[in-house]
Structure 1
Amino acid sequence: MSLELTDWDKDLPSQADEEYQALVRTLNFTEGFGLLFVRCSPAGGEQLITKVKADISNKNIQVLRLQQAVSNLYEIIDNLDNKSEINVLFITGLEHSFYEYEECKSLTGWNSKDIYSYSWKGVPPVLINLNQQRERLKDNFNICFVFLLPIFAIKYFIQRAPDFFDWRSGLFEFPIDSETLEQESLRVIQEGDYDRYLTLTPEERTKEILRVQELIVEENQTPKRQCDLLINLEILHLVGQNYKEMIKSFDKALSIQPDDYETWSNRGTALFGLGHYEEALTSYDKALSIQPDYHEAWKNRGLVLFNLGYNAEALASYDKALSIQPDDHEAWNNRGNLLGNLGRNEKAITSYDKALSIHPEYYQAWYNRGVALYDLGHNEEAIASFDKALSIQQDKHEAWNNRGNALSKLERYEETLNSYDKALCIKPDLHQACYNRGIALWNLGRNEEAIASFNKALEFKPDLHQAWYNKACCYALQDNIEQTLENLQQAINISPDEYREKAKTDTDFDNIRHDERFQALIQG
Structure 2
Amino acid sequence: MMSGQVIDIASVSHLSHEQDDRYRLEINICDRIIKRYPYHYQAWNYRSYLLASIGQYEAAAESYRHTLSLKATEHRVWCNYGAVLEKLEALDEASKCFSKALKQAPGYFKAQYRQSKNLHRRALYGEAVVSYEQAIQLRPDFYKVWYYRGKALLQLNRNEQAIASLTKATELYDGDSKVWMILGRTLLQEQQPQEALNALNHALRIDPNDATVWSYHAAALKNLGHGEDAFASLEKAVTLDPGDSRLWHLRGLALLEVDQLATARESFITSLKIQAYNYQGWLAMGWTLQKMENYSLAIEAYDKSLAIEPDQPFAFYNQARCHARLGHDLWALEHLRRAMSLDPNIYTERAYADPLLQSILKDMEDDDSGEDLEEVERIALDSA
Q: TM-score, normalised by structure 1?
A: 0.57
Superposed displacement of residue 388, structure 1: 0.4
1:311 matched to 2:125: yes
Residue 198 of structure 1: aligned partner: 14
Q: CA RMSD in A?
A: 3.0
Q: Which amino acid aligns with 1:479?
A: E
Residue 66 of structure 1: aligned partner: none
Q: 1:230 aligns with which of 35, 47, 57?
A: 47
Residue 169 of structure 2: aligned partner: 355
In the alignment, the residues of structure 1 paired with residue 263 and residue 320 of structure 2 have an alpha-carbon distance, to the nearest angstrom, of 19
Superposed displacement of residue 421, structure 1: 2.7
Q: Which amino acid aligns with 2:47?
A: L
Residue 398 of structure 1: aligned partner: 212
With over 3 angstroms needed to count, the CA separation of the structure-2 counterparts of 1:232 and 1:273, relative to structure 1, is closer
Superposed displacement of residue 321, structure 1: 0.8
Q: What do the CA deviations read for 1:189-248 (whole angstroms, capped 9, x no partner)?
A: 9999877752514xx4553342122010224679364145325415513xx4x4323323
Residue 72 of structure 1: aligned partner: none
Residue 325 of structure 2: aligned partner: 514
Q: How many residues align?
A: 331
Superposed displacement of residue 512, structure 1: 6.6
Alignment of 1:462-501 (within 5 A): 462-498=276-312, 501=313
Q: What do the CA deviations read for 1:248-297 (whole angstroms, capped 9, x no partner)?
A: 34224323432221121122222223322211111111111111111111
Structure 1 or 2, whichever has the larger Rg, is: 1
Partner SS, residue 250 of structure 2: helix
Q: Is the contact between residue 57 and residue 84 of structure 2 (CA under 8 Å) also seen in structure 1?
A: yes
Superposed displacement of residue 331, structure 1: 0.6
With over 3 angstroms needed to count, the CA separation of the structure-2 counterparts of 1:371 and 1:250, relative to structure 1, is farther
Superposed displacement of residue 468, structure 1: 1.0
Q: Which amino acid aligns with 2:173?
A: H
Superposed displacement of residue 309, structure 1: 3.1
Superposed displacement of residue 409, structure 1: 3.2
In the alignment, the residues of structure 1 paired with residue 11 and residue 82 of structure 2 have an alpha-carbon distance, to the nearest angstrom, of 21
Q: TM-score, normalised by structure 2?
A: 0.77
With over 3 angstroms needed to count, the CA separation of the structure-2 counterparts of 1:197 and 1:341, relative to structure 1, is closer
Superposed displacement of residue 305, structure 1: 1.6
Alignment of 1:11-50 (within 5 A): none
Partner SS, residue 60 of structure 2: helix
Residue 442 of structure 1: aligned partner: 256
Partner SS, residue 325 of structure 2: coil
Q: What do the CA deviations read for 1:307-358 (whole angstroms, capped 9, x no partner)?
A: 3333222111111111111111111111111111111111111111221221
With over 3 angstroms needed to count, the CA separation of the structure-2 counterparts of 1:307 and 1:194, relative to structure 1, is closer
In the alignment, the residues of structure 2 paired with residue 469 and residue 207 of structure 1 have an alpha-carbon distance, to the nearest angstrom, of 55
Alignment of 1:59-208 (within 5 A): 185=1, 198-201=14-17, 204=18, 206-208=20-22
In the alignment, the residues of structure 2 paired with residue 320 and residue 414 of structure 1 have an alpha-carbon distance, to the nearest angstrom, of 46
Residue 502 of structure 1: aligned partner: 314
Q: Which amino acid aligns with 1:502?
A: F
Residue 356 of structure 2: aligned partner: none
Q: Which amino acid aligns with 1:442?
A: L
Higher strand share: 1
Q: Which has the higher contact order (CA 8 A, sep 6+)?
A: 1
Q: Is the contact between residue 10 and residue 83 of structure 2 (CA under 8 Å) also seen in structure 1?
A: no
1:285 matched to 2:107: no
With over 3 angstroms needed to count, the CA separation of the structure-2 counterparts of 1:381 and 1:451, relative to structure 1, is same
Higher helix share: 2
In the alignment, the residues of structure 2 paired with residue 260 and residue 426 of structure 1 have an alpha-carbon distance, to the nearest angstrom, of 48
Residue 237 of structure 2: aligned partner: 423
Q: What do the CA deviations read for 1:354-379 (whole angstroms, capped 9, x no partner)?
A: 21221122222212211211111111
Q: Is the contact between residue 214 and residue 233 of structure 2 (CA under 8 Å) also seen in structure 1?
A: yes
1:210 matched to 2:61: no
Partner SS, residue 394 of structure 1: coil
Q: 2:154 aligns with which of 336, 340, 346?
A: 340
In the alignment, the residues of structure 1 paired with residue 15 and residue 233 of structure 2 have an alpha-carbon distance, to the nearest angstrom, of 33
In the alignment, the residues of structure 2 paired with residue 448 and residue 301 of structure 1 have an alpha-carbon distance, to the nearest angstrom, of 52
Residue 246 of structure 1: aligned partner: 60
